[in-house]
Structure 1
């Protein structure tokens, strides 16, 4: 009996059903909704109709999660090159290119936000915050999957607590205005009439650029062995990935259609200003820094796994721990330089362009060829 290895908490039901969604959410939070700018661009700007985009986002993430998890389970592939190859074939190379560009873009958005927030909340130099993040992400990728799983699990719990606190503070103070927005059907920030299709399409674009988060969770799927497990895990992932979207959306509605909030680089910072005192702003600065670490760690870890798979295919040894850390730091430095463009332009233009690419090389092949293969598999 003493020779039987004790099963880790992460290897049981938690690892099968909940961990994939936690990792997806922890990577999504950085590029998806950490600053609030993303929610404005792809939902909140539509005012009272914006919630429709949130429903579409939940459905989109749930479908993408179930299909991705099931492809990985059926073919027992857990790096993004091997997964995408199952339904995109030769176009998997295009996914490689778009994924790398989008990863750098998302990290650049987070770097831009972090630099601005660190200066405003903690009074530290932009480069002090950036250097600290680079070092931590490098360490996490040095130690690999074991540490990343635990870091992102506990980190996600802390981030959820933080976002719930921020949302309660904002919504409790501004709910009266939010109720007026919904009662009046206010969409005044956008000039002209708004159709349901326009809002839903914005949700599709949001899901599209966030398809880049899926490779980061593939290493957690090795524990899944049945279709029931992938379906349940996919639905839970959809919830984990959408709840913070709605928390942010309802918070913004309390200020709608204020340009001070809706046109801010970091809307959350404007919404929290004057609410709860200095400690709230400092806590928000810490949370944003953590989101950059989680997002960067997850996306770069997926890229490292892809590089290692490619090296094995050509008969070479995978990267050493030191090389992993060096590659991580190189990607981060490139992203930090790109961050100087500014968060509003990066999100409005860069995200939209990359979203179309992701939809073309990942979403469409997955819901056609991928779904066909899943249905035909025994």
Structure 2
């Protein structure tokens, strides 16, 4: 038997998949600054390390999930987690609980934040802003994985450029250098914050795993293990650079935005206003809206992909209409939860869901998932890999059905 040649994954194809995770993380992760302030800034220098570790844990988890999903030809995240947990398939329901709660909170925070930004920048009525953002998110989620990949790719590029520009200017304009801030913090805290930094890294990666269903749905274009790895390393670089720069900037301006009433809700906006650069504030507003909308789109899409296939929707022939019904339901419900406020949602809701995410997603995929993927790929090719001349369809290494493969 001739050796199978592994097709190379084009950079743009891998980038488009990596950008989905980046866009999903952008809204609450570093655009508002709320999550960065809650989980990292208070830890000082250890918070910077924690942010890097969190992004590594997240992208490695997504990588194993995509490899398992694509290699076996799975068609839903329910099948993915049944494969991961097999022979204890029913544990899959723990992820369902985690996912439903996190979708509600993530979408509520994204839409509420975007509507507040429209109100603050353009004077738009808050409730009108909610409707406008909701309709836009709805339109982007009802037309399938292709539109989500495309939207995330271009929004991801715009977000990355504007975010890095804002953070770089913010760091430069601060009264003291980031090195002196970190050095002073180390002299005060030493290694005392390391345990908390480790916990926060896992917790942060845990609740960010709400985007896993979207990632596996949009990541089916990766035809081999190398492609999945390439996409997630690109995503790691994008996410880490943006998140770390946001932490650096907030550390430099911490004394300023914490002294302003409500300044910690969207601390990046408070910093932009404090710098007094109008153009920068406008650019930040555009970046913030793109981030929040992309977070809402990528989060809802995974929910839609799961529920539009239920039997209750079987009489509806149009896929966009089925998607629209499910999307509209989750958007309306999320807005009810948003009344709790962005800070409370992130501190308490995200935090507790993060603990559950550690137990049912991060640790299982980085242990059992790694083992099962390595074992399976020793004897099987990716289910969605294209046939090559070197190895025809009648190859000796056959691809087994999903049910038979779950034990691997």
Same fold (TM over 0.5): yes
Report what 1:147 is aligned to: 147
Distance (Å, rounded) in 1 between the aligned partners of 2:253 and 2:70:
45
Distance (Å, rounded) in 2 between the aligned partners of 1:31 and 1:215:
18
C-alpha change, 1:187 and 1:150, in structure 2 (3 Å) is farther
1:270 deviation in Å? Answer: 0.8
Report what 1:81 is aligned to: 78
C-alpha change, 1:251 and 1:96, in structure 2 (3 Å) is same
1:351 deviation in Å? Answer: 0.7
Query: Where do 5+ consecutive residues of structure 1 fail to align?
Result: 1-10
Within the alignment, does 1:33 sit opposite 2:25 as a pair? no
1:181 deviation in Å? Answer: 1.2
Q: Is the 8 A contact 2:214 2:298 kept in 1?
A: yes
Give matches, 1:8-19, under 5 Å: 13-14=10-11, 16-19=13-16
Q: Is the 8 A contact 2:9 2:227 kept in 1?
A: no
Report what 1:3 is aligned to: none
1:211 deviation in Å? Answer: 0.8
Give matches, 1:354-365, under 5 Å: 354-365=353-364
TM-score of the pair, normalised by structure 1: 0.88
1:177 deviation in Å? Answer: 4.5
Report what 1:227 is aligned to: 225
Distance (Å, rounded) in 2 between the aligned partners of 1:121 and 1:74:
46
Distance (Å, rounded) in 2 between the aligned partners of 1:309 and 1:54:
37
C-alpha change, 1:152 and 1:187, in structure 2 (3 Å) is farther
Looking at secondary structure, tell me which structure has more helix per residue: 1
Q: Is the 8 A contact 2:16 2:152 kept in 1?
A: no
Larger radius of gyration: 2
Distance (Å, rounded) in 2 between the aligned partners of 1:13 and 1:32:
28
Distance (Å, rounded) in 2 between the aligned partners of 1:280 and 1:160:
15
Within the alignment, does 1:72 sit opposite 2:69 as a pair? yes
Deviant stretches of 4+, over 4 Å: 309-312, 314-319
CA-based RMSD of the aligned residues comes to 2.6
Distance (Å, rounded) in 2 between the aligned partners of 1:265 and 1:70:
37
Report what 2:352 is aligned to: 353
1:136 deviation in Å? Answer: 1.0
Report what 1:243 is aligned to: 241
Q: How many pairs does the alignment contain?
A: 365
C-alpha change, 1:116 and 1:186, in structure 2 (3 Å) is farther
Within the alignment, does 1:256 sit opposite 2:261 as a pair? no
Q: Is the 8 A contact 2:142 2:320 kept in 1?
A: yes
Report what 1:4 is aligned to: none
Higher alpha-carbon deviation: 234-243 or 245-254: 234-243
Higher alpha-carbon deviation: 177-186 or 121-130: 177-186
Query: Where do 5+ consecutive residues of structure 2 fail to align?
Result: 1-7, 379-408
Give matches, 1:1-378, under 5 Å: 13-14=10-11, 16-88=13-85, 89-174=89-174, 176-185=176-185, 194-258=192-256, 259-260=258-259, 264-275=264-275, 277-311=277-311, 320-377=319-376, 378=378
Distance (Å, rounded) in 1 between the aligned partners of 2:146 and 2:59:
26
Report what 2:406 is aligned to: none
Q: Is the 8 A contact 1:169 1:275 kept in 2?
A: no
C-alpha change, 1:66 and 1:187, in structure 2 (3 Å) is farther
